[in-house]
Amino acid sequence: MTYENLLVAEENGIIIVTVNRPQALNALNAGTFSDLKQLFGTDIAGRKDIKGVIITGAGEKAFIAGADISEFLKLDVASAAQLSKRGHDIFLLIERFHKPVVAAVNGFALGGGCELAMACHLRIAGEKAKFGQPEVNLGIIPGYGGSQRLIQYIGKTKAMELLLTADMIGAEDALRLGLVNHVVPAGQEVAKATEIIEKIATKGPVAIQKTIAAVNAFFELGGQAGFDFEVTAFGDTAGTEDFKEGASAFLEKRKPEFKGN
Protein backbone atom coordinates (compact mmCIF):
# COMPACT_ATOMS: atom_id res chain seq x y z
CA MET A 1 0.00 0.00 0.00
CA THR A 2 1.56 3.27 -1.17
CA TYR A 3 -0.01 6.64 -0.44
CA GLU A 4 0.84 10.24 -1.27
CA ASN A 5 -0.09 11.86 2.04
CA LEU A 6 -0.78 9.03 4.49
CA LEU A 7 1.58 7.00 6.62
CA VAL A 8 -0.06 3.64 7.27
CA ALA A 9 1.25 1.12 9.77
CA GLU A 10 -0.21 -2.00 11.35
CA GLU A 11 0.51 -2.78 14.99
CA ASN A 12 -0.99 -5.82 16.67
CA GLY A 13 -3.93 -5.87 14.29
CA ILE A 14 -4.63 -2.12 14.52
CA ILE A 15 -4.19 0.07 11.45
CA ILE A 16 -2.63 3.42 12.40
CA VAL A 17 -3.16 6.12 9.78
CA THR A 18 -1.20 9.37 10.02
CA VAL A 19 -2.16 12.25 7.75
CA ASN A 20 1.30 13.40 6.77
CA ARG A 21 1.39 17.00 5.51
CA PRO A 22 2.90 18.74 8.54
CA GLN A 23 4.17 21.64 6.43
CA ALA A 24 0.51 22.44 5.70
CA LEU A 25 -0.75 21.47 9.17
CA ASN A 26 -2.04 18.29 7.50
CA ALA A 27 -4.68 20.19 5.52
CA LEU A 28 -6.89 17.94 3.42
CA ASN A 29 -6.17 18.19 -0.28
CA ALA A 30 -7.21 16.15 -3.30
CA GLY A 31 -4.31 13.73 -2.83
CA THR A 32 -5.22 13.03 0.78
CA PHE A 33 -8.83 12.35 -0.14
CA SER A 34 -7.66 9.95 -2.84
CA ASP A 35 -5.49 8.18 -0.27
CA LEU A 36 -8.38 7.85 2.19
CA LYS A 37 -10.63 6.49 -0.54
CA GLN A 38 -8.00 3.96 -1.56
CA LEU A 39 -7.42 2.88 2.04
CA PHE A 40 -11.00 2.54 3.27
CA GLY A 41 -12.65 1.76 -0.05
CA THR A 42 -10.19 -0.87 -1.29
CA ASP A 43 -7.09 -1.75 0.72
CA ILE A 44 -8.69 -2.58 4.08
CA ALA A 45 -12.35 -2.62 3.03
CA GLY A 46 -12.79 -6.37 3.29
CA ARG A 47 -10.37 -7.17 6.09
CA LYS A 48 -11.99 -8.99 8.98
CA ASP A 49 -8.70 -9.78 10.68
CA ILE A 50 -8.00 -6.24 11.89
CA LYS A 51 -9.23 -4.86 15.23
CA GLY A 52 -9.80 -1.29 14.14
CA VAL A 53 -8.30 1.88 12.70
CA ILE A 54 -6.76 4.96 14.35
CA ILE A 55 -6.49 8.23 12.42
CA THR A 56 -4.12 10.95 13.64
CA GLY A 57 -2.03 13.80 12.26
CA ALA A 58 1.70 14.24 11.82
CA GLY A 59 3.46 16.64 14.17
CA GLU A 60 2.32 18.20 17.42
CA LYS A 61 0.36 21.21 16.16
CA ALA A 62 -2.46 19.75 14.12
CA PHE A 63 -4.66 16.73 13.62
CA ILE A 64 -5.94 18.34 10.43
CA ALA A 65 -6.18 22.12 10.35
CA GLY A 66 -8.77 22.24 7.58
CA ALA A 67 -9.01 21.83 3.85
CA ASP A 68 -6.41 23.04 1.37
CA ILE A 69 -8.00 26.40 0.57
CA SER A 70 -5.69 26.99 -2.39
CA GLU A 71 -7.61 24.25 -4.22
CA PHE A 72 -10.94 25.98 -3.51
CA LEU A 73 -10.01 29.10 -5.45
CA LYS A 74 -10.28 27.14 -8.70
CA LEU A 75 -13.87 26.06 -8.06
CA ASP A 76 -17.09 27.16 -9.70
CA VAL A 77 -20.59 26.20 -8.56
CA ALA A 78 -20.64 22.83 -10.29
CA SER A 79 -17.10 21.75 -9.40
CA ALA A 80 -17.58 22.85 -5.78
CA ALA A 81 -20.66 20.65 -5.46
CA GLN A 82 -18.72 17.75 -6.97
CA LEU A 83 -15.86 18.32 -4.50
CA SER A 84 -18.29 18.33 -1.59
CA LYS A 85 -20.04 15.17 -2.80
CA ARG A 86 -16.72 13.36 -3.13
CA GLY A 87 -15.78 14.34 0.41
CA HIS A 88 -19.15 13.14 1.70
CA ASP A 89 -18.76 9.80 -0.05
CA ILE A 90 -15.25 9.22 1.31
CA PHE A 91 -16.19 10.18 4.87
CA LEU A 92 -19.18 7.82 4.63
CA LEU A 93 -16.70 5.02 3.90
CA ILE A 94 -15.14 5.80 7.26
CA GLU A 95 -18.43 6.21 9.12
CA ARG A 96 -19.76 2.93 7.71
CA PHE A 97 -16.51 0.98 8.16
CA HIS A 98 -17.10 -2.43 9.68
CA LYS A 99 -14.47 -2.04 12.40
CA PRO A 100 -14.17 0.81 14.93
CA VAL A 101 -12.40 3.90 13.60
CA VAL A 102 -11.02 6.23 16.27
CA ALA A 103 -9.75 9.76 15.71
CA ALA A 104 -6.71 10.55 17.86
CA VAL A 105 -6.90 14.34 17.77
CA ASN A 106 -3.49 15.74 18.63
CA GLY A 107 -3.96 19.44 17.82
CA PHE A 108 -6.11 21.61 15.60
CA ALA A 109 -9.15 19.84 14.11
CA LEU A 110 -10.70 22.60 12.07
CA GLY A 111 -13.00 22.61 9.07
CA GLY A 112 -12.40 19.41 7.14
CA GLY A 113 -10.31 18.11 10.03
CA CYS A 114 -13.22 18.42 12.46
CA GLU A 115 -15.45 16.83 9.82
CA LEU A 116 -13.08 13.89 9.42
CA ALA A 117 -12.91 13.41 13.19
CA MET A 118 -16.72 13.43 13.35
CA ALA A 119 -16.91 10.77 10.63
CA CYS A 120 -14.92 8.45 12.90
CA HIS A 121 -16.84 6.33 15.40
CA LEU A 122 -14.99 7.67 18.46
CA ARG A 123 -12.76 10.67 19.19
CA ILE A 124 -9.86 10.96 21.63
CA ALA A 125 -8.64 14.51 22.20
CA GLY A 126 -5.27 15.57 23.49
CA GLU A 127 -5.48 18.32 26.08
CA LYS A 128 -4.23 20.86 23.53
CA ALA A 129 -6.75 19.91 20.83
CA LYS A 130 -8.97 22.58 19.29
CA PHE A 131 -12.15 21.99 17.31
CA GLY A 132 -14.11 24.26 15.02
CA GLN A 133 -15.91 24.84 11.73
CA PRO A 134 -14.52 28.21 10.58
CA GLU A 135 -15.86 28.09 7.02
CA VAL A 136 -18.07 31.19 7.35
CA ASN A 137 -14.87 33.21 7.83
CA LEU A 138 -14.20 32.43 4.16
CA GLY A 139 -17.75 33.10 3.00
CA ILE A 140 -18.52 29.40 2.54
CA ILE A 141 -20.16 26.64 4.59
CA PRO A 142 -18.87 23.23 5.70
CA GLY A 143 -18.74 20.90 2.73
CA TYR A 144 -17.86 17.50 4.18
CA GLY A 145 -20.77 16.89 6.54
CA GLY A 146 -19.95 19.40 9.27
CA SER A 147 -23.35 21.07 9.37
CA GLN A 148 -25.01 17.68 9.80
CA ARG A 149 -22.74 15.66 12.10
CA LEU A 150 -22.02 18.51 14.52
CA ILE A 151 -25.75 18.69 15.31
CA GLN A 152 -25.81 14.94 15.97
CA TYR A 153 -23.05 15.21 18.56
CA ILE A 154 -23.71 18.47 20.40
CA GLY A 155 -27.29 19.45 19.52
CA LYS A 156 -28.78 22.16 17.32
CA THR A 157 -28.39 25.09 19.72
CA LYS A 158 -24.65 24.88 20.29
CA ALA A 159 -23.93 23.59 16.79
CA MET A 160 -25.70 26.60 15.31
CA GLU A 161 -23.59 28.93 17.45
CA LEU A 162 -20.28 27.31 16.50
CA LEU A 163 -21.18 27.13 12.81
CA LEU A 164 -22.33 30.78 12.67
CA THR A 165 -19.56 32.33 14.79
CA ALA A 166 -16.68 30.09 13.60
CA ASP A 167 -15.53 29.93 17.23
CA MET A 168 -13.08 27.22 18.27
CA ILE A 169 -13.54 25.12 21.40
CA GLY A 170 -10.90 23.35 23.44
CA ALA A 171 -10.70 19.72 24.42
CA GLU A 172 -12.51 20.05 27.75
CA ASP A 173 -15.41 21.93 26.19
CA ALA A 174 -15.56 19.32 23.43
CA LEU A 175 -15.80 16.63 26.09
CA ARG A 176 -18.50 18.50 28.02
CA LEU A 177 -20.55 19.00 24.87
CA GLY A 178 -20.23 15.37 23.79
CA LEU A 179 -18.05 15.93 20.75
CA VAL A 180 -15.22 13.73 22.09
CA ASN A 181 -15.14 10.61 24.23
CA HIS A 182 -12.00 11.23 26.28
CA VAL A 183 -9.39 13.94 26.90
CA VAL A 184 -5.84 12.76 27.58
CA PRO A 185 -2.43 14.39 28.10
CA ALA A 186 -0.78 15.56 24.90
CA GLY A 187 0.99 12.69 23.19
CA GLN A 188 -1.24 9.99 24.70
CA GLU A 189 -4.00 10.17 22.08
CA VAL A 190 -2.96 7.10 20.07
CA ALA A 191 -2.30 5.09 23.23
CA LYS A 192 -5.82 5.77 24.53
CA ALA A 193 -7.33 4.99 21.13
CA THR A 194 -5.39 1.71 21.09
CA GLU A 195 -6.66 0.83 24.57
CA ILE A 196 -10.27 1.32 23.49
CA ILE A 197 -9.89 -0.66 20.27
CA GLU A 198 -8.24 -3.52 22.18
CA LYS A 199 -11.22 -3.56 24.55
CA ILE A 200 -13.73 -3.59 21.67
CA ALA A 201 -11.75 -6.42 20.03
CA THR A 202 -12.68 -8.73 22.92
CA LYS A 203 -16.36 -8.50 21.96
CA GLY A 204 -18.25 -10.38 19.26
CA PRO A 205 -16.98 -9.17 15.85
CA VAL A 206 -20.31 -9.60 14.07
CA ALA A 207 -22.08 -7.82 16.91
CA ILE A 208 -19.63 -4.91 16.69
CA GLN A 209 -20.19 -4.59 12.95
CA LYS A 210 -23.97 -4.70 13.36
CA THR A 211 -23.87 -2.21 16.23
CA ILE A 212 -21.97 0.32 14.10
CA ALA A 213 -24.49 -0.14 11.31
CA ALA A 214 -27.46 0.12 13.69
CA VAL A 215 -26.25 3.35 15.28
CA ASN A 216 -25.64 4.82 11.82
CA ALA A 217 -29.14 3.72 10.80
CA PHE A 218 -30.66 6.07 13.38
CA PHE A 219 -29.20 9.05 11.56
CA GLU A 220 -29.28 7.74 8.01
CA LEU A 221 -32.77 6.22 8.06
CA GLY A 222 -34.47 7.78 11.07
CA GLY A 223 -37.82 7.07 12.65
CA GLN A 224 -39.30 3.61 12.40
CA ALA A 225 -36.79 2.57 9.73
CA GLY A 226 -33.99 2.75 12.31
CA PHE A 227 -35.93 0.52 14.70
CA ASP A 228 -36.71 -1.89 11.87
CA PHE A 229 -33.00 -2.09 11.07
CA GLU A 230 -32.27 -3.03 14.68
CA VAL A 231 -34.91 -5.78 14.62
CA THR A 232 -33.34 -7.33 11.53
CA ALA A 233 -29.78 -6.94 12.83
CA PHE A 234 -30.74 -8.47 16.18
CA GLY A 235 -32.13 -11.49 14.35
CA ASP A 236 -29.01 -11.75 12.24
CA THR A 237 -26.70 -11.77 15.27
CA ALA A 238 -28.89 -14.32 17.09
CA GLY A 239 -28.21 -16.73 14.24
CA THR A 240 -24.42 -16.57 14.55
CA GLU A 241 -22.01 -18.99 16.13
CA ASP A 242 -20.62 -16.04 18.07
CA PHE A 243 -23.94 -15.62 19.85
CA LYS A 244 -24.03 -19.27 20.81
CA GLU A 245 -20.47 -18.99 22.13
CA GLY A 246 -21.15 -15.74 23.96
CA ALA A 247 -24.30 -17.02 25.63
CA SER A 248 -22.65 -20.32 26.57
CA ALA A 249 -19.63 -18.53 28.02
CA PHE A 250 -21.88 -16.28 30.08
CA LEU A 251 -23.77 -19.22 31.55
CA GLU A 252 -20.56 -21.14 32.15
CA LYS A 253 -18.87 -18.09 33.74
CA ARG A 254 -15.91 -18.06 31.35
CA LYS A 255 -14.50 -15.72 28.72
CA PRO A 256 -15.97 -16.24 25.27
CA GLU A 257 -13.81 -17.20 22.31
CA PHE A 258 -15.40 -15.43 19.37
CA LYS A 259 -14.62 -16.53 15.81
CA GLY A 260 -16.42 -13.80 13.88
CA ASN A 261 -19.11 -15.96 12.36
Known catalytic residue at 195:
no
CA distance linking residue 115 with residue 72, whole number of Å = 17
Convert the pLDDT of each residue in 92-101 to its tens digit: 999 999 999 9
Q: Which one of the listed residues 10, 115, 161, 195 is annotated catalytic?
A: 115
pLDDT score, position 247: 86
Q: What is the four-CA torsion angle of 236, 240, 242, 246, rounded to 10 degrees?
A: 80
Which pLDDT score, from 0 to 100, does residue 209 have? 95
- Domain spans of the chain, in order of start: 6-200, 205-251
Question: H or E stretch including 183?
Answer: strand 182-184
Task: Give CATH for domain 205-251.
Answer: 1.10.12
What per-residue confidence (pLDDT) applies to 202?
96
What's CA 119's distance to the chain center, in Å?
Answer: 4
Residue 147 predicted with pLDDT over 80: yes
Helix axes 223-238, 205-220, angle to 10 degrees: 170
The pLDDT tens digits of the residues spanning 40-52 come to 999 999 899 999 9
Level-2 CATH architecture, domain 6-200: Alpha-Beta Complex (3.90)
Q: Is there a contact between 70 and 30 (Cβ–Cβ < 8 Å)?
A: no
Nearest CA-CA partner of 130 in 71, 220, 64: 64
User: Which residue in the list 95, 135, 172, 198 is annotated as catalytic?
Assistant: 135
Q: Edge-to-edge strand order for the sheet containing 108-110?
A: 62-64, 108-110, 130-132, 169-170
pLDDT tens-digit series, residues 114-132: 999 999 999 999 999 999 9
